[in-house]
Amino acid sequence: MEKSLVTEVELIGRLSERLLGKHPLLVQGIGDDAAVWRWEEGVYGLVSADTLHEHWDFDRSYHALRYIGYKAAVSAISDICAMNGQPLFLVVSLGVPRGTSASQLQELYDGIREVEEKYRVAVAGGDISPSRDLWLSITVIGRVEVEWIVYRKGAAPYQIVCVTGDLGAPYAGLKVLQREKAVLTHDPTAQPDVKDFGYVIRRQLKPEARCDVVRRLKEIGIRPTSMIDLSDGLAAGLHSLAQASGVGFHIYLERLPFHSQTARVAELFQIPLTAVLLYGGEEYELLFTVPAEAHETLRNEPFVHMIGYVKEGKDVVIEDGIGQVWPIEQIGWDSLLGERKKEST
């Protein structure tokens, strides 16, 4: 008997086998952060989609509707950033539960409007349908010059592994919000105790796509050799790049960037900080590789951290401060199962 549940990766693979996936304009189909097609001479078009479901991807007890709209749009835009591209248009599909008021949906769209203004994109259309629970699916269309396109494949031995921003904060913020929900469920008169965790909570509720990084890399003349966004966590991102490129990675634990609030939450909940940094997810930071000669150019850039190097072989490992090396497990968030899943290799 066939097992009832498969992982997201397994299901995508099985469903893809049912499709032709061929078109004379299609350059890259299923398998990267976005699909790529020939737009015009010297320019590729990009398209990707992302969906958020109530009770699965967000909890309205602490995710305000405005933040849900904002997060859904940003998560879709992040896929365009991972291809080194520029987002242009959004198409919004919405599942609306019975009893939802127009003012509630307006609040949701206020969040999307904020994304339009900040990221200079435009909502070009969409669809609304009835649903048992609230859900929001956003398709994003973008573009990138052919010479600047970056895929998950392309990393080569002795290149540098880089990550933007800091790691683990969205997961830390989620842990604090879940704690406060549990307290309020037990005692509705309790006052939230979140004053010392504003940064990590903001990273969970209102993440940002790293379009600024894409622009800055172009300004300083650096084209990554491979790239992915960290929506599923650093460990999952490393393994995705490694498998796509046919290489391994050697990462240094002491070079992983994190905020002091993230460390404090890890200590509060007695979770190893290393686990939070590697497996947290929902980062929307960028993980990428660059040629070794880019070191001098990047070393003074505050937005990027050089955390390791590409090596021959296929193993992905991390080295601590005393020289001990151990494998990084291939664990990431599985949106189909709603849990962190160790991928089969």
pLDDT over 90 at 33, yes or no:
no
Q: Alpha helices of the chain — where are they, by DSSP H? A: 8-16, 65-81, 102-119, 169-186, 198-205, 211-219, 234-245, 260-268, 273-279, 295-298
pLDDT over 70 at 344, yes or no:
no
Nearest-CA neighbor of 287 among 213, 218, 345? 213
pLDDT per residue as tens digits for the range 131-175: 999 999 999 999 999 999 999 999 999 999 999 999 999 999 999
Burial (0-12, 13-18, 19+ Cβ within 10 Å), 82? buried
Other CB atoms within a 10 A radius of the CB of residue 155 amount to: 25
pLDDT at 7: 65
pLDDT at 12: 63
pLDDT over 80 at 4, yes or no:
no
pLDDT per residue as tens digits for the range 68-116: 999 999 999 999 999 999 999 999 999 999 999 999 999 999 999 999 9
How far apart, in whole angstroms, are the C-alpha atoms of residue 207 and residue 75?
8
User: Which two three-digit tokens encode residue 54?
Assistant: 């109530």
Q: Which fold, 8-148?
A: 60s Ribosomal Protein L30; Chain: A; (3.30.1330)
pLDDT at 163: 98
Residue 83 CB-half CA count within 13 A: 31
How far apart, in whole angstroms, are the C-alpha atoms of residue 229 and residue 282?
9
pLDDT at 118: 97
pLDDT over 60 at 236, yes or no:
yes
pLDDT over 80 at 229, yes or no:
yes
Structural domain spans, the chain: 8-148, 160-342
How far apart, in whole angstroms, are the C-alpha atoms of residue 284 and residue 247?
23
pLDDT at 17: 67
Backbone phi and psi for residue 118, each to the nearest 5 degrees, phi listed first: -70, -40
For the domain made up of 160-342, the CATH class stated in words is: alpha beta
Tell me which residue has tokens 């980062």: 283
How far apart, in whole angstroms, are the C-alpha atoms of residue 24 and residue 26?
6
Tell me which residue has tokens 């990590």: 200
